[in-house]
Amino acid sequence: MPAWLRKSLVVIISMVTFGMVSPAQVNGFLTTTTERSEKSTAAETSFADSLDVPLDEELEREMFIHRTMMEAEQQSFQKFGAKIGPVIEDEFRQTILPNIEKAIEKVAFQFPGEKLTSLRITEVPGGGESEKIFHIIGDNGKDIIRFHVRRDQPPKDGFWFNFHYHTYQDNFQTHYELGKIFWAKNTPPKWKS
């Protein structure tokens, strides 16, 4: 099976199943299907045995980025809630989300492909006035990267949402800017409201 077709199938399957099928299962299915079509006379391999076959590095990264971006978008809109979400949705998708993807890609290149399957995203964004949108956590349970949004109120300039992230590499001290979205002169509602 051509590599481009295999990658396309993995992405489509991951989109349709959204977490119900692991990358290893998809790879096992594709590997088993390819082997059967190319070597029909070879001994049959059970589906369970083929689940241990690792995906190639590039495909692992693509799947990690795709899965994480879907969850990041979902967590972001959960945080924005019904009052903030509709107001900033378009600008968030056009300006902030592509920058979140770039940061996630950087994370994906810091880890070998087989490690990416052990990384996970936190499940609950912060509400009220909390900055937390989501964090990506390693297999040891420690944060790798934290995505936050802060409310800024420069003098005589209204309220802005400042999207940024922090990384474990400098003990989460530096703010890496993702972008800003203007709210209005009035105080924005609390997150998740």
Distance CA 68, CA 155 (A): 36
Q: Could you report the per-residue pLDDT of 128-143, keeping only the tens digit for each?
A: 999 999 999 998 999 9
Cβ atoms of 71 and 130 within 8 Å: the answer is: no
Least confident stretch, 58-62, 64-68, 147-151: 58-62
Distance CA 181, CA 174 (A): 20
Higher pLDDT, 126 or 32: 126
Structure-token pair, residue 35? 């082997």
- pTM: predicted TM-score of the whole model, two decimal places: 0.71
Structure-token pair, residue 23? 């990358």
Residue 171 in this model has a pLDDT that exceeds 50: yes
Distance CA 53, CA 29 (A): 10
User: Which pLDDT does position 52 carry in this prediction?
Assistant: 46
What is the arithmetic mean of pLDDT over 151-180? Answer: 94
User: Which pLDDT does position 33 carry in this prediction?
Assistant: 46
Domain boundaries defined on the chain: 3-50, 81-184
Q: What is the DSSP string of the chain?
A: --HHHHHHHHHHHHHHHTTSS-HHHHHHHHHHHHHHHH-TTSPP--HHHHTTPPPPHHHHHHHHHHHHHHHHHHHHHHHHHHHHHHHHHHHIIIIIHHHHHHHHHHHHHHS-HHHHTT-EE-S----BT--EEEEEE-TTS-EEEEEEEEEE--TTS-EEEEEEEEEGGGTT-S-EEEEEEEEESSPPPPBT-
User: Which pLDDT does position 138 carry in this prediction?
Assistant: 92
Q: Could you report the per-residue pLDDT of 6-41, keeping only the tens digit for each?
A: 666 666 666 666 555 444 444 454 444 444 444 444
Residue 69 in this model has a pLDDT that exceeds 50: yes
